[in-house]
Amino acid sequence: MSAYVIFIREHSYDPEELRIYSQKAPGGLAGHPVTPLAVYGTHEVIEGPAIEGAAILEFPSFEEAKVWYYSPAYQDAVQHRLRGGTYRGIIIEGVPAAASQS
């Protein structure tokens, strides 16, 4: 069953750290079965506090998402994202294909 990693950027405060992250993060995806679905594009907050942006990544399973997130390559990158801004990140399991068709 698919799983999704969702990152929400609430506030940026160190552009240099975010620049380093943006250089390192693609290398952290290498070798992982990930499909970027949305990456900091145009958005509209319809509930809750304003955000600066969001990203949604699709993985074949919850475990694959965790393997990617906790991989040494991504952990090397993520430290810069967390130094550069306030983020929320979650992994959420999708619904079975049959359930989404009803």
| Domain total in the chain | 1
pLDDT of residue 100 exceeding 70, the answer is no
Look up the domain containing 32 and give its range: 3-93
Buried b (16+ CB within 10 A) or exposed e, 82-93: eebbebeeebee
Report the candidate in 11, 7, 12, 62 with the shortest Cα–Cα distance to residue 36.
Answer: 7
Task: Report the pLDDT value the prediction gives residue 96, as an integer from 0 to 100.
Answer: 84
- Does any domain span residue 47? yes
CATH number at residue 14: 3.30.70.100
Mean pLDDT of all residues in the chain? 94
Q: How confident is the model at residue 53 (pLDDT cuts 50, 70, 90)?
A: very high
- Does any domain span residue 101? no
Dihedral sign for Cα atoms in the order 71, 1, 92, 17:
positive
Q: How confident is the model at residue 34 (pLDDT cuts 50, 70, 90)?
A: very high
pLDDT of residue 41 exceeding 90, the answer is yes
- Does any domain span residue 22? yes
In sequence order, which residues have a C-beta less than 8 Å from that of residue 56 and are 6 or more positions away? 4, 5, 6, 36, 37, 38, 39
pLDDT of residue 38 exceeding 90, the answer is yes
Task: Return d(Cα 83, Cα 68) in angstroms, integer.
Answer: 20
- Does any domain span residue 84? yes
- Does any domain span residue 100? no
Q: Which two tokens stand for residue 89?
A: 């990140």
